Amino acid sequence: MDEQLNPNDPTLTLTELSEDGATQALLDRVERESGVTPKRSPLSAWMRAAAHACRAELAERMNQTLRSDRKSGAKRVHYLSMEFLMGRALSNALAALGLEAAFKRAAESAGHQPRDVLEREPDAALGNGGLGRLAACFLDSMATLELPSFGYGLRYEYGMFDQHIHDGAQTEEPSDWLRDGNPWELHRPEIHFRVGFGGRVVSEGQDRRWEPGETLHATAYDFVVPGYATRRVAVLRLWQAAPSRPIDFAAFSRGDYASAGAAKQAAETINWVLYPDDSTPAGRELRLRQEYFLVSASLQDLIARHIADHGRLTNLGEKAAIHLNDTHPALTVPELLRLLIDEHGMTWEAALEQCQRALSYTNHTLMPEALETWPVRMLEDLLPRHLELIYQLNAHFLGHVTRHFPDDNELIARVSLIDEQGERRVRMAPLSIVASHQVNGVSKLHSDLMVETIFADYAQILPRRFCNVTNGVTPRRWLAQANPELSTLLDRRLAGGHDWRTHLERLAELRPLADDAEFRAEILAAKLSNKQRLAELVRRELGLIIDPDSLIDVHIKRIHEYKRQLLNILQVIARYQAISAAPEADWQPRTVLFAGKAASAYHKAKLIIRLIHDVARVVNSDPRIDGRLRVVFLPNYGVSAAEVIIPAADLSEQISTAGTEASGTGNMKFAMNGAMTIGTWDGANIEMAEAVGRDHFFIFGHDADEVRELRNEGYNPRAYVEDNPRLFKVLEAIASGAFSPADHARYRGLVDNLLNRDSYLLLADFAAYLEAQARVDMLFGQRERWAGETIHNIAGMGYFSTDRTIRDYAENIWGMPVPTREPDA
């Protein structure tokens, strides 16, 4: 705070006031906005007023940030993503603005629990899962590292669906998160661009020019993302589509209202709903329109800003980094070429050079079926000029390949940007690779597999283009905000006090404390209190009582076959059968908690949810079990639920088939909150285990090489059943309807599939998984030792902050090194 300021001056902004002043200002604001006294203002009005108060501060910070970047002519990074899974913003904003204490006092003085106010905010769930949440953590770190940065996305009216469970089965409901308005967004009607679709391409002398058949209007809605311990912010700019002519008056006059409003309807469809992360992405035209709308509006915006700042485009790649979050915004390639060549008169060669300098691309999945392609026919209709430019780029690239590998006709055919088999399709990953200067995977294993498998040909041709940047998570949300009790402990025990929030590597100082009896006890006490909070949530949501002293074993993520929630359930059933067979034995009480959404068309994933519920019903109502095993499925998993669940976990399930989970980021959140991991040698689990020390990790199962060998030699799942009576019994119980007595055949297909195919090798890893779970039980029985192990895990997580991840991107990919801020102590 500026020392000349008088902290009681009413003209000061909220963050310049004393705590008393800020408390009073908040109370005044609530009254002015709601029209009733703060005591009578409903919680939702409190939430909105507090958000508006923060928004005003943040808008000012945004203005200052943008002005100073303009003045310094700094390079900026533009993070293009179809998904930003932001969650709630109020708690984070209050912390960043230093207003937590004032907010707490204000709310309490009006008779409200601060937490009740915070919980009135709906999650901004503009994403499906890992990739979208990573983008949100990145914005937090970009702001905190003071990196000039924009996130670009779409303002979906309906984000991730709400999950409901009826009779154990998932149903989807639209989540109407904008219904009561959005207190965070700053509508910027003055920032608008035109985005075309369809039409034709005409020749003008040597030049080609696109005449779109229809044109939409894009306007900006800004979200300001505060940095921690800095006044700088990142901006998340979300685009909203509108028709260029909202009403056809001729049709209206005829009384034909449907036609009169058709253009408005068509435009708004762009922002209608987030596409689900489907295992087999449906190549729907609306999705392609969404992708192009995002790309075109964002590029026009950043080009306009670049010209305003620098007056020319020949240094675009030097001053602007443009990052593609997977291939979803890959139309950036032809759109940037089109804008530079057709609209700004650049030559093909110069445009391609700027494009390659500016662009970089992250791959987030190895699943061949999840790699995006678009039918040539669809592009012909919707984006004819872009298709021409893609062909031109393809010819250019294949020319390069032919010159360097003249004898390898097969290679040349394989690496074409156009898939010629069947209906011709444009392959978006190769398009992104060829037009970028760097392509990265999201963990070491994933990046290695990427160049060994799906992109092997491209790595042979462009060996220096590929690299790795291991994912991270923001410690502000996932530790400081989600786990206040552990945070207080860290503040007390680490030499730098609270500065681990921006220097997470400080956690390494905890290592010697793994043997400190007092610290172990404090860690256990913090965990217990978080477990009680979770038990309260489960009781509220499901009316189910869980024991906070039991081992809380958590498996939360999107439901996917490769993530193997089914393997976990097999293990649960084996445990159930074992306890039933020897109810008098000394079993370690355990609560197994699942949460996660299945894509609405993903039938197998939905069946797995059903099975979890069926098993839960049987287990939880069996008197022989007597509370020693509980199975819980918590509906409607999202960012806010994760913030309660993760700090309460004793055990984190990260059990994907080795070679399938690109990185995982939930794994990191759990470990830094003091959970032990039971996991396969996959994704970032590997780097985590190495950072923590393998002895402090429960690793099991086949690794990626062994998985490949098994598959190559002709995997036979039945062999594992013949060898393992426990496995046989589990499968038999499921197949015979023991958990679905009213519908014996419900899971027959599921079990048949395991016996005959088992694409994700559940049966091959079953025995090792059970053995690892037994080691977990043993260790949890010695609570002191367990606490020491969890301390090793927390201590090893310093590397997995998105601050480190973003620094790595900035230095090695975006060409914008970040000054290191010295720790406080």
The torsion defined by the Cα of 558, 564, 568 and 574, in degrees rounded to 10, comes to: 150
Q: CB of residue 131 vs ligand 26Q: minimum separation in angstroms? A: 3
Look at phi and psi of residue 583 and say left if phi exceeds 0, alpha if psi is from -120 to 50, else beta. alpha
Q: CB of residue 365 vs ligand 26Q: minimum separation in angstroms? A: 5
Distance CA 637, CA 647 (A): 15
Binding site for ligand 26Q (CB under 6 A): 128-131, 134, 275, 277-278, 281, 287, 364-365, 370, 372, 442, 471, 661-665, 683
The residues facing 676 across adjacent strands are: 651
Cβ 565 vs Cβ 612: under 8 Å: yes
Distance CA 287, CA 460 (A): 32
Contacts of 236 (CB under 8 A, 6+ apart): 84, 86, 139, 150, 151, 152, 153, 222, 223, 224, 225
What type of residue sits at position 217? H
Cβ 800 vs Cβ 475: under 8 Å: no
Q: CB of residue 283 vs ligand 26Q: minimum separation in angstroms? A: 8
Distance CA 799, CA 507 (A): 9
> Alpha helix locations (H) across 625-761?
639-645, 666-672, 685-692, 704-712, 717-722, 725-735, 748-756
Distance CA 646, CA 478 (A): 9
Q: Residue 64 is encoded by which pair of tokens?
A: 């200052």
Residues with a known catalytic role: 364, 557-558, 563, 665, 669
Would you say 80 or 134 has its CB closer to ligand 26Q?
A: 134
Going by their DSSP bridges, the two strands 359-362 and 438-441 should be labelled as parallel
Per DSSP, the three-state class of 210 is strand
Q: Residue 8 is encoded by which pair of tokens?
A: 């009681």
CB atoms within 10 A of CB 163: 22
Distance CA 314, CA 365 (A): 34
Q: CB of residue 372 vs ligand 26Q: minimum separation in angstroms? A: 5
Q: Which of 641, 708, 561 is nearest to 160 (CA)?
A: 641
Q: CB of residue 274 vs ligand 26Q: minimum separation in angstroms? A: 9
Backbone φ, ψ for residue 329 (5° rounding): -100, 30
The residues facing 677 across adjacent strands are: 652
What type of residue sits at position 331? L
Distance CA 796, CA 115 (A): 31
Distance CA 549, CA 648 (A): 11
Cβ 776 vs Cβ 402: under 8 Å: no
Strand ranges in 458-559 using DSSP code E only, listed in sequence order: 466-468, 551-556
Q: Residue 734 is encoded by which pair of tokens?
A: 């499921």
Cβ 326 vs Cβ 131: under 8 Å: yes
